Amino acid sequence: MALADAGSALTGEQRAIRDVVHEFAVEEIRPGAREADEREEFPEDAWDGLADLDLTGLTVPEEYGGFEADRTTYSVVNEEVAYGQLAVATALSVHCLATSCIATFGSDELKAEWLPRMVEGRPVGMFALSEPQAGSNPAEMETVARREGDEYVVNGEKQWITNGERGGVCVLFARTDSDDPGSITQFLVPKDVDGLEVGKREHKLGLRASDTTALLFDDVRIPAENRLTEEGRGLSAAFEILTGGRIGIASQAVGVAQAAFDEAREYAGEREQFDGPIGEVQAIRHKFAEMGTKLHASRLLVREAARLEDEGEDPRIAASMAKYHASEAAVDVCNEAVQIHGGYGYVSEFDVERFYRDAKITTIYEGTTEIQKKIIARGLLD
């Protein structure tokens, strides 16, 4: 039984898309992943390939040239791109967060100006919500966009910005009243405006090929028509978009776990100790039983959350369950994959070392495990 198919309930079209993206991940993304990670450079050729497959327009309506994928298709694409390299999948998912915000909340003029170009892959989108003192609780953000006539003047700092160096347009969240945490509003900010500076690049445990920076806003002036939401509606709008984003991150966790599982299975069939392949040793076989079960359960949770959204039901609790379980399972599966490789799993010559480092971030970004548990408990008990 193929774990990727069991219980998946994918349509024929979704399976075809999955197979195309899987092939691209294996043949075009994975071969350069190790070098990209070591050099901490994003593989732009892989990004251009995603654009050629129309995947940089994954969440954009067809009228603007986009793919307009349902959530299940979005999930499948995220899983398969992450199977190639999580850093590439992360860049894509953040780009899609930005296009989703513009498509959902932007004016017709903003959508017409930005979405067709973003479908083609440039400019790359950024999503600026977190701040140095406001991560899990974005209501504590301090960035302010003060209205002056037909403009807003933005001052503040954003942190953990994926695509921070290579991005070209930012979806920004800022208070319109410095004294009111309920005034958070969403704006579209081009990267090349005066006063916007890219901060230092973070050097990370994993996800090294993905550029993660701060964004510094010093009297940045943006036209009032670049406001995406009504004043005070920015945070609720962010949560609306992030629910789908969490399904995407859960899908990425499944993709990394599947990659680690496959590498470990191949290694266990080739590595010989005690007069035979280590895959015949009961202790190793039990590891695969546990890994496979966790992987399969994660995929089913992800598909269920995606199904709920596609059918118009509230997916928030299911999305948090999927994100919580899949991310923690990914760390466990990658850990066991390293263990199965023994000493070879600890060196960069083998991909499981990178999978292990990369997997950890899925328990942190777009809502930590602890935040997911809080959401789940509130939905079950309150």
> Which residue matches tokens 């948090």?
320
Question: CA end-to-end span of the chain, whole Å?
Answer: 39
Q: Is 366 a catalytic residue?
A: yes
Q: Which residues contact 90 (CB under 8 A, 6 or more apart)?
A: 162, 207, 210, 252, 361, 365
Q: Give the H or E element holding residue 195.
A: none
In angstroms, the CA 34 to CA 28 distance is 13
Q: Distance of CA 146 to CAs 215, 315, 374, Å?
A: 18, 35, 33
Tokens, residue 138: 């974005």
Of 80, 131, 157, 366, the catalytic one is 366
Q: Distance of CA 159 to CAs 70, 132, 170, 225, Å?
A: 30, 6, 13, 25
Helical packing angle, 282-310 and 71-84, nearest 10°: 150
Catalytic amino acids? 366
